Amino acid sequence: NHPFELNSKGHLEIGEVDSIDLAKKYGTPLYVYDVSIIRENCRSFVDTFKELGVSAQVAYASKAFSSTAMLQVIKQEGLSLDVVSQGELYTAIQADFPPNKIHMHGNNKSVEELSMAIEHGIGCIVVDNFLEIDLISKLLNKYNKTIDVLIRVTPGIESKTHQYIMTGNEDSKFGFNLHNGQADKAFLQLYNHENINFKGLHCHIGSQIFEADGFKMATTMLFEKIGEWNKLHGYTPEVLNLGGGFGIRYTKEDTPLPYSSVVKELVAKVKEHASLFDLTIPEIWIEPGRAIAGNAGLTLYTIGSKKEIPGVRSYVSVDGGMTDNLRPALYQAKYEGVLANKAAQPVTDLVSVAGKCCESGDMLIWDLPVPEVDSDDILAVFSTGAYGYSMASHYNRFPNAAVVFVENGQDKLVVKRETFQDVVKNDLSYE
């Protein structure tokens, strides 16, 4: 059920490359991305908008996985880019990403971050709060520039049937509340600002969303507000950004609708409301992160020690863990995996996969069905392409793992494995 094949040796293949060869060549833990799947994911969004004949921008949310090579692929595919920090913006600039296609987020953007964004003439700042409006105004004066902005609003979507929707609810650190006058006040400041081009509204309702209902609900709420602003101030938005959050399949319990179906439904809703309020259809922007990178990546580990607790559980430990994939420890996220060197063998055992950090919660997978496990087997954990490398840490002074891209039978190292020198490089002596 994961988009990877077996080869004649019974080994797992990724991008037509034997995963065991990759583990030998680059060592483990190793993040491996099939670039053709990244491209396919990009195209499934872009092509759907094209098919529907609506103007759109698909911005890759680079928090899911940002590196120079990744942003180069995103640039090749013609997507825009969402950054949320100076580090992500710096990476984009290093990767020669066209600045006018970069959108900047953040609930506490610093003067340095905003200056860098304005100096480089990025495509859009998504304004989150009143302090930011002040800071942007001062910087635009200083640099004698103008900038396009969207306003981030929190629509207050909180329904029992939509518990997965977490960031669009009222009690959120992000954005201007849509219903208590905050958004109206911010709108007026931005709309009447002489150096700011107020392009439209943004909202992000949450992550790992499997169908279109939440996006449609958000669209309705945004249009109600737009309708008010249109009546009172003659305002027509050029852009409506519905954020990211398109879900992916981690395990067989996850059954997201195809992205094309979700996009079709949300576009239909935008069209319906534009016509209802007698407005021209705004350009639709979305910001998928996980949906672009998640299922394109897997992580290879080497199995080390084993511990059998008779009648209770078999633990097998790998050479990585919460330092390269924090999601199981942080969110109790579930993953599937296979023994990459025994991928054709029948499953006989159930093991729980532990990381090697000094922390009981450092478990990657509970109860994974596998063939008989030996030390030095290679374990592949699927769908680790989003929020794996990007949330990696140095806990227990682990160096960060390497990243390899594969495509059409070719492999290329795109992020070097950190060395122990890297780990101590910022330490200063106190002797």
The residues of the shown chain that bind ligand LLP, judged by CB under 6 A, are 61, 64, 82, 105, 167, 204, 207, 243-246, 287-291, 327, 386-387
Query: Residue 11 or 290: which CB sits closer to ligand LLP?
Result: 290
Q: Cβ of residue 347: shortest distance to ligand LLP, in angstroms?
A: 28
- The backbone torsions φ and ψ at residue 203, rounded to the nearest 5 degrees and listed phi first, read -145, 150
The response to whether 359 counts as a known ligand-binding position is: yes
Min dist CB 63 to ligand LLP, Å, is: 6
Residue 8: CB partners within 8 Å, gap ≥ 6? Answer: none
Residue 175 marked ligand-binding: no
**Which one-letter amino acid corresponds to residue 230?**
N
Question: What value does the CA radius of gyration of the chain take, rounded to a whole number of Å?
Answer: 23
Torsions phi, psi for 319 (to 5 deg): -85, 15
Is 327 flagged in the annotation as binding?
A: yes
Cβ 291 to ligand LLP shortest distance, Å? 6
Q: What b-and-e string marks burial along 178-199, b requiring 16 or more CB atoms within 10 Å of the CB? A: beeebbbebbebbeebeebebb
Please list, in sequence order, all residues whose beta carbon lies within 8 angstroms of the beta carbon of residue 238, skipping any fewer than 6 positions away: 199, 200, 282, 283
Per the annotation, the verdict on 124 as an active-site residue is no
- 245 annotated as ligand-binding: yes
Does 288 carry a binding-site annotation? Answer: yes
Q: Tell me if 397 is assigned to a ligand binding site.
A: no
Least Å from the CB of residue 258 to ligand LLP: 15
- Specify the residue, 153 or 368, whose C-beta has the smaller distance to ligand LLP: 153
**Closer CB to ligand LLP, residue 104 or residue 338?**
104
- Quick one: which of 108, 19, 32, 99 has its CA closest to 70? 32
CB of 215 to ligand LLP, least distance (A): 12
Catalytic residue among 42, 124, 357, 358: 358
* Residue/partner pairs of 90-94 with CB below 8 Å, 24 or more apart: 90/116, 91/62, 91/66, 91/67, 92/62, 92/66, 93/120, 94/68
- Residue 74 half-sphere exposure toward CB, CA atoms < 13 A: 32
- Decide if 11 contacts 407 (C-beta within 8 A): no
In DSSP terms, 54 is beta-bridged to none
Say if residue 290 carries a ligand binding annotation. yes
Q: Is 289 annotated as a binding residue?
A: yes
395 DSSP assignment: G
Q: Tell the smallest beta-carbon distance from residue 84 to ligand LLP (Å).
A: 7
**Residue placing its CB nearer to ligand LLP in the complex, 87 or 409:** 87
Please say which residue, 286 or 406, places its beta carbon nearer to ligand LLP. Answer: 286
Q: Is cis: bond before 29, omega within 30 of 0?
A: yes
- Which of 223, 232, 241 has its CA nearest to residue 279? 223
Q: Which is nearer to ligand LLP, 136 or 343 (CB)?
A: 136
What is the distance between the alpha carbons of residues 335 and 338, in angstroms, rounded to a whole number? 11
Q: Which is nearer to ligand LLP, 333 or 351 (CB)?
A: 333
Distance CA 431, CA 424 (A): 16
Q: How far is the CB of 127 from ligand LLP (least distance, A)?
A: 12
Binding positions are 245, 287-290, 327, 331, 359, 387
Catalytic residue numbers, as ranges:
358
Annotated binding-site positions for substrate: 290, 327, 331, 359, 387
